[in-house]
């Protein structure tokens, strides 16, 4: 469901699928060819949310900009199931694992991976090209070409799923 709020209307890019069970509110811009999954919440009521092209926000994830700020999510980012994103920015090609938490003013560099269940604390900055995990998030290793290739394939699968949902539609039963 897409809602205007405080005279701000969400903008959804061409080729983007937004589940009817997602909630998109206010000052939100979603790029082209994105997947906004079931139960996702994108809240641009206190601040602004900007999501780049080819990005997947997967089931039950929440993206919310803190009061008076902008949360920027780059191009070709994957935000996995149940993640909580309340941060300043996520760089292009980054992956946010299932159940990860990104707190206020945190930043995740491009091509980085935040492992499942990781907590990126308030104001913490994750550099580009690393894998982090734990609470608080700590560097585990540098991103490898093999890992990048694996996640690129996953991102392509979600872009294809978005296109298929748009093409075939979903049909309520009963």
pLDDT tens, residue by residue, 15-41: 999 999 999 999 999 999 999 999 999
- The two tokens of residue 121 are 């604390």
Give the integer Cα–Cα distance in Å for 149 and 106: 26
Q: Show the CA angle centred on residue 41, arms to residues 51 and 10, nearest 5°.
A: 55
Question: pLDDT value at position 171?
Answer: 84
pLDDT at 92: 98
| C-alpha closest to that of 76 among 162, 167, 172 | 162
pTM of the shown model: 0.96
- Domain tally, the chain: 1
pLDDT for residue 172: 84
CATH number at residue 27: 2.160.10.10
Res 149: pLDDT = 92
Containing 52, the helix (H) or strand (E) segment is: none
Residues of the chain with pLDDT under 70: none
DSSP-assigned letter for residue 150: H
In a domain, 173, yes or no: no
Q: What is the pLDDT of residue 33?
A: 96
Question: Do residues 98 and 79 make contact, with C-beta atoms less than 8 angstroms apart?
Answer: no
Q: Is 174 domain-assigned?
A: no
């Amino acid at each position: 469901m897409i809602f205007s709020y405080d005279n701000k209307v969400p903008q959804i890019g061409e080729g983007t699928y937004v589940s009817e069970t997602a909630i998109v509110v206010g000052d939100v811009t979603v790029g082209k060819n994105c997947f906004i999954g079931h139960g996702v919440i994108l809240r641009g009521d206190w601040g602004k949310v900007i999501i780049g092209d080819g990005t997947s926000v997967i089931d039950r994830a929440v993206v919310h900009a803190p009061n008076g700020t902008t949360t920027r999510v780059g191009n070709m980012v994957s935000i996995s199931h149940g993640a909580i994103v309340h941060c300043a920015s996520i760089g292009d090609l980054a992956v946010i694992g299932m159940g990860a938490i990104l707190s206020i003013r945190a930043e995740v560099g491009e091509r980085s991976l935040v492992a499942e269940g990781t907590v990126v604390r308030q104001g913490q900055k994750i550099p580009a090209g690393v894998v982090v995990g734990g609470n608080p998030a700590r560097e585990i290793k540098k991103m490898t070409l093999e890992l990048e290739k694996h996640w690129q394939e996953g991102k392509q699968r979600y872009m294809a799923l978005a296109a298929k949902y748009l093409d075939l539609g979903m049909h309520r039963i009963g």
